[in-house]
Amino acid sequence: MRNTPAEAQSCILMVDDNAANLGILSATLNNPQRRILAATSGAEALSIVREVLPDLILLDIVMPGMSGFDVIRELKSNPGTADVPVIFLSALSHPDDVVDGLRAGALDYIVKPFNAEEVEARVTNHLRLRKLELQREKQNARLELLNDRVLQTMREAVMGLDSEGRIVFANQAAVELLRAGDADALIGVYCDSLLDSKEPIDHMLKQTGQPAVHHFEAQTRGDNGEPLPLECSVAAVQGKADAQGSVLVVRDISERVKAANALRSAHDKVLQSHRALQQAQEKLIQAARMESVGQLAAGVAHETKNPLAIIQLGVEYLLDNEPHNETDQQVLEDIAEAVRRADTVVKGLMDFARESRIEAQAVDINRLIETSLSLIRHEARSRDIKVHSRLADKLPKFMADKDKISQVLVNLLMNATQSIGKNGEIDIITCYEKASRELLLDVPDKLHLSDRPLLQIIIQDNGGGIAEHDLRRLFDPFFTTKPVGEGTGLGLSVSRNIVQMHGGWLLLRNRSQKQGAEAILLFPVEENQAT
Amino acid sequence: MKKRILVIDDEAALTRMMKLNIEASGNYEVRTENSGKNAITAAREFRPDMIFLDVMMPDKSGDDVAADLKQDPVLKHIPFVFLTAIVTNEETGGHASEISGNTFLAKPVKKEELIATIEKFTA
Ligand SMILES: Nc1ncnc2c1ncn2[C@@H]1O[C@H](COP(=O)(O)OP(=O)(O)O)[C@@H](O)[C@H]1O
Ligand SMILES: [Mg+2]
């Protein structure tokens, strides 16, 4: 290991085979800020240099053994010493000699015999230059380190490109963004092969004039091959006349794009629920209106029926109280008829105000199922859902409100298709038999549905089934697990009401053997109507 | 002796018509009362064999009068029938009908039904 000269001191090595010369030189240069070393041969000089790296070497050319040229060649061939400044000090004064000396790598050439002041001035200058040189090197090293730190800590990917668009350096962020193992894997790669941009990068750079920095969007592939949106900036590193390459900065903006998309879809959802709210509000207003019609009807009925009762009884009293002539008789009968008509009108109003009633007629339930199926067939087909029916062929005549039962079937079939979503199967089964004991556990006793054959309609799906904790709430009005706008939560409660109006019961449960849910409709049928 | 019928309804013209029609048959004596509040007093004095009771009366509803009747040691055995304007004839089946243990007649009531009901309850 060589020692470097103490910080404050400059170290000068004099090499001359003539000891007298060394003495004069030493006297000339001596100064407390300098440490002066001397060698009387080239070999000695090199061995000193191996120990101590001087800031300046004053080298005689003509020496026995190694010449000054040999020494400088040796110094230049070693990277550790190549930078040490050398001044030739020689009696060879021909301009060719001077040129040879400078060509060999000397910084300066002083002809002997020398002028002491000139030597001193030149040495001082060279030492100062050397000092500056060392400082600059140190600074460069620091800057390089700093540069590297900055690049490596940046979140943005930074790459240097050569004039052909090949990567010459890449920071860690670039390595990560471009899914390269390490920076070396990126070196030499054409940047365009990693980034998809609308316009090739070198095109952008070749555009003359402003702006010096081009911003553009590009894409690369993420871990799973998904496209990652990027925002890039590229600037040419300008030489004197033409570009010597460029610096490219790349930001991954997928989070930003994702956030923007999320914001947009949240906005859509707000709009959607706003619309749903509006609809609900309209329904409420409608319901409130109906309720006040109901109250109005009751009031009208009360206020109308009392006078009607008075007229009715008055007319009847007069009719019974003979004798009257034919005209009186006719008048009284006309009044009685008018009372009957007015009573009918009031009754109609009350019926309208009340929950609508069922209009029962003999219904062929299998036919009704076919009709209801045709209403959902399109929906089922578009979801790749197959519907199979297994309908018993001897079923009793069923007194029911066709439209309302069809409404129930459509509700249940829609629930089944919605639960399946896509690609599945629905089975519809009808039969006329007693309900199983297990099934009857869920049927209110007061319906008296046990111990007698029942008309049963079963709708099975292979969808997601019902979550345990939802089972009790399925029939609550407005209970739904579907997104706003898709479910009202009224289907099952209305359906059960309708079934109850027919004296029957509606159940929904998970299937025991298979995946999915089943809806079961139980209807009592009068025995004598069985065929 | 004629059977006594008490008719309680806030509508005076209606009670008048009922009295005329029921008494016209010759078998009954009718007293009318137009205040729900006075119903019990009237019943105590008159001791009817049967009572017609309007459901909706402004000072005291038929329901409340009925509850008092059932509580009264003297009156509790007297049968009563509600007169109502808000149940339709169709719902009562056109006859006096039972709804949760009580008998209702829908207005406007026909003389024929009135007499049939009285006969049934005073037999
Ligand atoms: N076949 C089925 N499979 C699974 N869950 C169902 C099925 N039918 C109904 N449900 C559940 O019952 C809830 C209420 O149904 P419903 O009253 O018809 O209202 P909606 O269909 O509008 O949600 C549904 O949101 C769903 O959670
Ligand atoms: Mg539904």
Name the residue ranges covered by the structural domains of chain B. 3-122
Q: Are residues A144 and A179 in the same domain?
A: no
Domain end residue (candidates: A252, A283, A313): A252
Q: Are residues A330 and A447 in the same domain?
A: no
Ligand nearest to the CA of A414: 2
pTM over 0.80: no
Contacts of A401 (CB under 8 A, 6+ apart): A358, A359, A360, A361, A498, A501, A502
Determine contact, residues A72/A106, Cβ cutoff 8 Å: yes
Amino acid at residue number A308 = L
Q: Answer yes or no: is A424 within a domain.
A: yes
Q: Are residues A14 and A138 in the same domain?
A: yes
Contacts of A91 (CB under 8 A, 6+ apart): A62, A111, A112, A113
Total residues belonging to chain B: 123
Q: Report how far residue A519's alpha carbon sits from residue A509's, in angstroms, rounded to the nearest whole number.
A: 7
What is the Rg, in whole angstroms, of the alpha carbon atoms belonging to chain A?
Answer: 53
Q: Report how far residue A158's alpha carbon sits from residue A137's, in angstroms, rounded to the nearest whole number.
A: 25
Whether residues A302 and B56 touch (CB distance < 8 A) is answered with yes
Minimal C-alpha gap between A443 and chain B (Å) = 24
Q: At A427, which CATH number?
A: 3.30.565.10
Chain B residues with beta carbon closer than 8 angstroms to that of A313? 14, 17-18, 20-21, 108-109, 111, 114
Q: Report how far residue A117's alpha carbon sits from residue A56's, in angstroms, rounded to the nearest whole number.
A: 17
Specify the ligand 1 atom closest to the Cα of A475: 17
**Is A157 a residue whose pLDDT tops 70?**
yes
User: Which residue in chain B is spatially nearest to A346 when comparing CA positions?
Assistant: B88
Q: Are residues A334 and A413 in the same domain?
A: no
Question: Cβ of A188: how many Cβ atoms within 10 Å?
Answer: 10
Whether omega before A32 lies within 30 degrees of 0, making that bond cis, reads no
Which one has a higher pLDDT value, A328 or A82? A82
Ligand nearest to the CA of A426: 1
Whether residues A312 and B110 touch (CB distance < 8 A) is answered with yes
Q: Are residues A61 and A145 in the same domain?
A: yes
Residues pairing with A357 in the sheet: none
Rounded to an integer, the average pLDDT of A296-316 is: 82
Mutate which: A313, A332, A337, A354, vs B, most B CBs within 10 A: A313
* Percentage above 90 pLDDT, chain A: 36
User: Which residue in chain A is spatially nearest to B105 when comparing CA positions?
Assistant: A309
Chain A residues with beta carbon closer than 8 angstroms to that of B88? 347, 350-351
pLDDT tens digits, A485-503: 566 677 787 788 889 889 9
Q: Are residues A50 and A137 in the same domain?
A: yes
Q: Are residues A373 and A511 in the same domain?
A: yes
pLDDT reported for residue A391:
95
Q: Answer yes or no: is A1 within a domain.
A: no
Instruction: Report CA(A145)–ligand 1 centroid distance (Å).
Output: 66
Instruction: Report CA(A507)–ligand 1 centroid distance (Å).
Output: 12
Q: Report how far residue A440's alpha carbon sits from residue A522's, in angstroms, rounded to the nearest whole number.
A: 10
**Is B115 a residue whose pLDDT tops 90?**
yes
pLDDT reported for residue A208:
56
Q: Answer yes or no: is A487 within a domain.
A: yes
Q: Which residues neighbour ligand 2 (ion) by CB within 5 Å?
A: A 415, 491
Chain A residues with beta carbon closer than 8 angstroms to that of B107? 305-306, 308-309
Q: Are residues A446 and A512 in the same domain?
A: yes
Angle at A234 between CA A229 and CA A236, to 5 degrees: 165
Whether residues B11 and A310 touch (CB distance < 8 A) is answered with yes
Q: Are residues A402 and A475 in the same domain?
A: yes
**What CATH code would you report for B3-122?**
3.40.50.2300
Residues pairing with A15 in the sheet: A39, A59
pLDDT reported for residue A422:
94
Q: Report how far residue A505's alpha carbon sits from residue A389's, in angstroms, rounded to the nearest whole number.
A: 21
Q: Are residues A42 and A84 in the same domain?
A: yes
* Percentage above 70 pLDDT, chain A: 88
Q: Are residues A407 and A479 in the same domain?
A: yes
Whether residues B108 and A317 touch (CB distance < 8 A) is answered with no
Rounded to an integer, the average pLDDT of A78-97 is: 90
Instruction: Report CA(A415)–ligand 1 centroid distance (Å).
Output: 5
Domain end residue (candidates: A115, A149, A183): A149
Going by pLDDT thresholds of 50, 70 and 90, the confidence category of residue A332 is: confident
* Least reliable range by pLDDT among A50-64, A294-308, B83-97: B83-97
Contacts of A385 (CB under 8 A, 6+ apart): A417, A420, A422, A423, A424, A425, A426
Specify the ligand 1 atom closest to the Cα of A519: 1
Instruction: Report CA(A266)–ligand 1 centroid distance (Å).
Output: 25
Q: Answer yes or no: is A468 within a domain.
A: yes
Q: Report how far residue A526's alpha carbon sits from residue A529's, in angstroms, rounded to the nearest whole number.
A: 6
The residue behind tokens 């690369």 is A220
User: Which residue in chain A is spatially nearest to B15 when comparing CA positions?
Assistant: A310
CA A271 to chain CA mean position, Å: 21
Instruction: Report CA(A465)–ligand 1 centroid distance (Å).
Output: 9
Chain A contact residues (CB < 8 Å to B) = 298, 301-302, 304-306, 308-314, 316-317, 320-321, 339, 343, 347, 350-351
Domain end residue (candidates: A217, A252, A287): A252
Question: Cβ of B100: how many Cβ atoms within 10 Å?
Answer: 5
* Least reliable range by pLDDT among A194-203, A276-285, A380-389, B57-66: A276-285
Chain B residues with beta carbon closer than 8 angstroms to that of A339? 108
Structure tokens at A17: 């085979």
Specify the ligand 1 atom closest to the Cα of A470: 27
E strand or H helix at A249: strand A243-252
Which one has a higher pLDDT value, A237 or A253? A253
The residue behind tokens 């009754």 is A347
Question: Cβ of A161: how many Cβ atoms within 10 Å?
Answer: 25
Structure tokens at A497: 């009401």
How confident is the prediction for chain B on average, in pLDDT? 86
Ligand nearest to the CA of A516: 1
**Parallel/antiparallel/unpaired status of strands B97-99 and B80-84:** unpaired
Whether residues A312 and B56 touch (CB distance < 8 A) is answered with no
Specify the ligand 1 atom closest to the Cα of A463: 3
Determine contact, residues A457/A428, Cβ cutoff 8 Å: yes
pLDDT tens digits, A413-452: 999 999 999 999 999 999 999 999 889 888 888 888 888 8
Whether residues A310 and B20 touch (CB distance < 8 A) is answered with no
What residues make up the domain containing A491? 361-529
The residues lining ligand 1, judged by C-beta closer than 6 Å to any ligand atom, are A 411, 415-416, 419, 461, 463-466, 470, 474, 479-482, 487-492, 508, 517
Domain count, chain A: 4
Q: At A215, which CATH number?
A: 3.30.450.20
Chain B contact residues (CB < 8 Å to A) = 11, 13-14, 17-18, 20-21, 24, 56, 83, 85-86, 88-90, 106-111, 114
Going by pLDDT thresholds of 50, 70 and 90, the confidence category of residue A17 is: very high
